[in-house]
Amino acid sequence: MAAEQISHGVPPSLSAKVVGSFAYLTVRDRLPTILTRVIDTIHRNKNKFFEQFGESGIQAEKQAISLLSKLRNELQTDKPVLALTDGLQDTESWNQYLQRHQNMQGDQEAVSWFKSPWLYVECYMYRRIQEAIWLNPPICDYDVFNEGKAQSYFESQQAVMALCTYLEEVNKNMEETSKNQLSEHFNKLLKVSLWGNKCDLSISAGQENSQKTSPIDSLNSLQTFILVDDSNVVWSTLNSIEEPGQQEKSTSGRVDFVLDNAGFELVTDLIFADFLVSSGLACEVRFHGKCFPWFVSDVTAQDFQWTIRQTMTANHKWMSKSGVQWQKYMKEGVWSYHDHPFWTLPHEFCDMSTDAPDLYATLMEANLLLFKGDLNYRKLTGDRHWDHTVGFDTSLRGFGPAPLCSLRTLKANVQVGLQPGQGEKLTSQDPDWMTSGKYAVIQFYSPKSVQT
């Protein structure tokens, strides 16, 4: 039996080795489809590379496609996971992780696409896509997922306009707003940010998946699909932040968003963050994004800046007003964007304190951490075969730099913190409940509430 399966009652990782499982179907069908789309995108942009870089652009395009076709072949024929060769900042960490898994698996069997943890090989695929781009200098800044992310932003304009109009109303009346009304606005915008996660591009293998109606209007009917709703605890956490040394005085603190997808989801996060600052619930917001294009639609620094710029220049009064405000928050340092190589490593978050102690220390300074999306949930819980009734705190396995909340629509079959029988009931009513994106959770954990 593999070492990880016998380590202290921690359940095994989800893996494509379970034939027919969601992990198996993803590795067999969805990942090769995503690779094929990436290859097509690069090929379609051949002329652009030629215009920009001349003949060397064409050579780079050919070479990148050849590396990506090789990658697709390795995946589809369950070849061993290979060490990276690009000598970048995180190359060593990836290669050490491979060694760690090889040691756990024993020498008889190589770490490979269909035998190793799904979380690991899926992350590895995105890192190898990046390697293919980075190894071809003239096109090394090219974001193979850019077109889809921009499209998701443009296709959700109606919804963005509706949200910015709502935000304007809320902000305009802030002075006269009672605590109860504030808590209602908070609840709505938290949930808009939650459901914004429905719109990622990886689950649809890159196909159009955007929001077209006003999200505020849909919130009531969506409530029954929220399986765990800890939003009240999140609200009370933000309302009970104490200044160090001043026990009684309540003040606002720092909220960190560990971002997920660009396009519509990012706008919902920015709107929520705007509200947190304008209401005084937070005085600082930090956004954490990815260092390179990741899981098709995840936010990079480029996407972050682009989204604010686009919103600023939109031909809609409240949209552009919001964008201008966001730019101002960035300039003043009230908001800031950060990336760290750890977010694009395959590690479970319980490894963060040892493998990225600097990042862990930064997160400890936050008053609240909001983890957006499904992949962050998989990393929080280690992407393991947990019983649905296991506590969220147990599944975190010691991870808890600060009070944290996962805002996630379910797109992978890991779910903890449910009531006894809740999972079974859902399975009988709706067999795809864990993977369809139809259900969601707002799950909270605070290291402070742990009795020592």
Ligand X SMILES: O=P(O)(O)OC[C@@]1(O)O[C@H](CO)[C@@H](O)[C@@H]1O
Residue 146 token pair: 């850019």
Find tokens 């072949």 and name the residue.
Answer: 73
User: Which partner from the list Mn ion, ligand X, none does 30 bind, CB cut-off 5 to 8 Å by kind?
Assistant: ligand X
Q: Give ∠ CA 346-350-356 in degrees, rounded to 5.
A: 70
CB of 412 to Mn ion, least distance (A): 11
Q: Does 197 bind Mn ion (CB under 5 A)?
A: no
Q: Does 295 bind ligand X (CB under 6 A)?
A: yes
CB of 374 to Mn ion, least distance (A): 7
Among 15, 261, 367, 395, binds Mn ion (CB under 5 A): 261
Which residues, 227 to 286, sit near ligand X by CB under 6 A?
260-261
CA–CA gap between residue 4 and residue 278 (Å, rounded)? 47
Which residues, 274 to 333, sit near Mn ion by CB under 5 A?
295, 298
User: C-alpha distances in angstroms, 180 versus 215, 255, 271, 382?
Assistant: 21, 21, 20, 37
**Which SS3 state, helix, strand or coil, does residue 388 take?**
coil
**Which SS3 state, helix, strand or coil, does residue 260 take?**
coil
Tell me which H or E stretch contains 140: none
The amino acid occupying position 67 is L
Q: Does 200 bind Mn ion (CB under 5 A)?
A: yes
Write the CB contacts of 227 (distance below 8 Å, at least 6 apart in sequence). Answer: 410, 415, 418, 422, 426, 439, 440, 441
Q: For ligand X, what does the binding mask look like between residues 174 and 203, x meaning CB under 6 A? A: -----------------------x--x-xx
User: In whole angstroms, how large is the CA radius of gyration of the chain?
Assistant: 22
Burial string for 144-182 (b: 16+ CB within 10 Å, else e) reads bbbebbbbbbebbbebbbbbbbbbeebbeeeeebeeeeb
CA–CA gap between residue 300 and residue 43 (Å, rounded)? 23
Please choose, out of 77-85, 183-191, 197-205, 407-415, the segment that lies near Mn ion by the rule CB under 5 A: 197-205
**Among residues 23, 377, 301, 47, which one has the least CA distance to residue 149?**
301
Q: Does 351 bind Mn ion (CB under 5 A)?
A: no
User: Which partner from the list ligand X, Mn ion, none does 383 bind, CB cut-off 5 to 8 Å by kind?
Assistant: none
Residues facing residue 243 across a β-bridge: 246
User: Which partner from the list Mn ion, ligand X, none does 381 bind, CB cut-off 5 to 8 Å by kind?
Assistant: none
User: Which partner from the list Mn ion, ligand X, none does 197 bind, CB cut-off 5 to 8 Å by kind?
Assistant: ligand X
CB of 437 to ligand X, least distance (A): 7
CB of 294 to ligand X, least distance (A): 9
Which residues, 367 to 406, sit near ligand X by CB under 6 A?
373-375, 378
Residue 8 token pair: 């202290």
Nearer to Mn ion, 61 or 122 (CB): 122
User: Which partner from the list Mn ion, ligand X, none does 241 bind, CB cut-off 5 to 8 Å by kind?
Assistant: none
Q: Cα-flanking dihedrals φ and ψ of residue 249, to 5°?
A: -70, 125
Nearer to ligand X, 125 or 352 (CB): 125
CB of 140 to ligand X, least distance (A): 25
CB of 343 to Mn ion, least distance (A): 11
CB of 210 to ligand X, least distance (A): 14
Residue 416 token pair: 């903890």
Among 26, 112, 210, 237, binds ligand X (CB under 6 A): 26
CB of 411 to ligand X, least distance (A): 3
Which residues, 109 to 148, sit near ligand X by CB under 6 A?
122
CB of 199 to ligand X, least distance (A): 9
User: Which partner from the list ligand X, Mn ion, none does 26 bind, CB cut-off 5 to 8 Å by kind?
Assistant: ligand X
Residues that contact ligand X, how many (by CB under 6 A): 16
Residue spans of alpha helices (H) in 314-381: 317-332, 352-355, 357-364, 373-381
Nearer to ligand X, 34 or 167 (CB): 34
Tally of residues, the chain: 452
User: Which partner from the list Mn ion, ligand X, none does 274 bind, CB cut-off 5 to 8 Å by kind?
Assistant: none
CB of 262 to Mn ion, least distance (A): 9
Nearer to Mn ion, 209 or 310 (CB): 209
| End-to-end CA separation in angstroms for the chain | 35
Q: Which DSSP string do the residues of 224-258 spell out, in sequence order?
A: GGEEEE-HHHHHHHHH--EETTEEEEE--EEEEEE
Residues that contact Mn ion, how many (by CB under 5 A): 5
CB of 28 to ligand X, least distance (A): 12
Task: Name the closest residue to ligand X (Cβ).
Answer: 411
Find tokens 């890192």 and name the residue.
Answer: 127
> Site residues (CB under 5 A) for Mn ion?
200, 260-261, 295, 298
**By the criterion CB under 6 A, which residues form the site for ligand X?**
26, 30, 122, 197, 200, 202-203, 260-261, 295, 373-375, 378, 411-412
